[in-house]
Structure formats: C-alpha cells, structure tokens
Structure 1
Amino acid sequence: MLCNKKIMGVILAGGIVLFFLQGCYKDKTVVSDTGAVITRTVTFSGDIIPIFNKSCSLSGCHTGGGKPPDLSAANAYNSLKVGNYFNTNNPESSVLYLWLTGKKTTQMPVGGMNKDYNALVIAWIKQGAKNN
C-alpha cells in the first residue's frame, strides 16, 4: 500500500513537471519587440540599406532574380514602394514590419533580426518612409 502511494506521488509529480515544461516549447515563428525607441531621423540610405545589405540581400534571397522584394541597394526603395510593403498611415500594419517581427509569417530574415534593426525600420516608416 505504501509502495502504491509512492508510485502515485512520483507519477503526479512527473505530470506536474511535464505540464509546466510544455510552456517552455519554442515555436518556429518568434514575435520580437522592436527594441529601442528611435528619436533621431532615420535615413533610407544611411540606416535601412545597411540593414538590408547585412540581413536580406547578402544571402542572395532578396536581390535581383531572388525572392521579392528586391532589397539590393539600387532597387530596394522602389521595390518596397511599388509592392506596398510599407504603410505610413499605419506603420505597424506594414508588410515589411510584420515580416521582421514574425507577425505575418515566418520571421524574416530566418532566425530573426536584431531588435534595434526592427526599431530603425519602424521608425523610418513612421517618419514617412522617405527615400533619403
């Protein structure tokens, strides 16, 4: 009888541990916050293009002949504008922002982006998404 109580106690404790461990599961789509708040002017050529060069076009994924949008330095702005990838009236609904944060589909770039880069992108969109 004492042995059965010990076994039931171990099973119950194991069940409780498993219940709490399931909350530690990591999904493939990670929603990340935007990082720091940007208060300075963000420029497309000085801030956004370097992010694209480092994270999106370097791998060859989003360059001419790759997957749209073409984020190469020469074509990125027009590709984003023509493809309606940003929405200056509602920046948080911008397709570009939703991809970067993983709120639309698998987070881009795959594996996620630096939160400070996300903050720069959303600040740029909020500032009017200018080709500057």
Structure 2
Amino acid sequence: MKRIFSLLAIASLSVGLTSCYEDVISPGSDPNGPPQEVSLSGDLIPIFEKNCAMSGCHSADAKKPALTADKAYTELMSGGYVNTMVPDKSPIYTVAKPGGSMPTLNPKDLQKLLDWIRNGAPNN
C-alpha cells in the first residue's frame, strides 16, 4: 500500500512539474506583442543621431527631414512620416526596415522605433 501511494505521489509530482510552462517574451522581441515603453529623447534621438543625422542626410542643414534632438518630433509628425493607426506602414519605419530605401537599422533599434509609434508616438 505504501508503495502504491509512493508511486502515485511521484507520478502526480512528475505530471505537475512537467505541465508547468511559462512563455517568456522579452520586451521588444515580438513585433506583434505588447509594445515596450520607448522615449523619443532617451531612446530614439540617440539612434537617429548615430545612424541618420551624423551621416549628413538628416542633419539640421540637410534638405531631408532633420532628425536632430531639437527638430525630430516636429519634422516626423508634420511631414506625415508617422502613422499611429497602422504603425508598421509608417514611412519612417518602412524606410529603415530591410529592403527600405534608407540604411537598415539593427533589429533592436527598429523594434524601438516601431514600439514608439505603436505607443502613439509621444513627444517624450
């Protein structure tokens, strides 16, 4: 009787432990998952300055939209580069994706850009 009880206890414990499963998705690793919090000034401006403004393409004196700290938000929002209704169709996002017309951002930075748009593109 003790042996049967022990076997049932072990079987129950085995089933209980193997049925536990936690799906952990790190923030920003799933483009369709909940968007991570992204700050324009703290997260995106450094990306723009490193990849876009420093190249001379999107600097303050360029003919293209300036992506500098003092002008990026106004330029992006007034120029129609951000589509908060369909974030993945935003021109700023589509040109920075692989196959877009601008140099491709790395996946982590591209996800930050998409998440910022998905959060309503706040001026933060």
Q: TM-score, normalised by structure 1?
A: 0.65
> What's the % identity of the aligned pairs?
40
**Aligned residue identity for 1:50:** P
Aligned to 2:92: 96
**Whole-Å Cα distance in 1 between the matches of residues 114 and 35 of structure 2?**
12
Given candidates 110, 116, 121, the residue that maps to 1:124 is 116
1:11 maps to: none
- Out of 17, 36, 53, the position equivalent to 2:29 is 36
Secondary structure, aligned partner of 1:128 = coil
What does the per-residue CA deviation read over 1:67-97, in whole Å, with 9 as the maximum and x for residues that have no partner? 4211011100000011010000100110001
Residue correspondence of structure 1 range 39-58 to structure 2 within 5 A? 39-58=35-54
Read off the aligned partner of 2:83 and give its amino acid letter. Answer: N
- Number of residue pairs aligned between Structure 1 and Structure 2: 94
Gaps of 5+ in 2: 1-27
Q: TM-score with structure 2 length normalisation?
A: 0.69
Say which one has the larger Rg: 2
CA distance in 1, matches of 2:116, 2:80: 15
From 52, 61, 67, the counterpart of 1:65: 61
Relative contact order, CA 8 A, sep 6+: which one is greater? Answer: 1
Give the aligned CA root-mean-square deviation in angstroms. 1.7
Deviations 1:84-119 (A, max 9, x none): 10000100110001101145x42x22xx22110000
Runs of at least 4 residues off by over 6 Å: none
Where structure 1 has 5 or more consecutive residues not aligned to the other structure, the ranges are 1-34
| Contact 2:35–2:118 under 8 Å retained in 1 | no
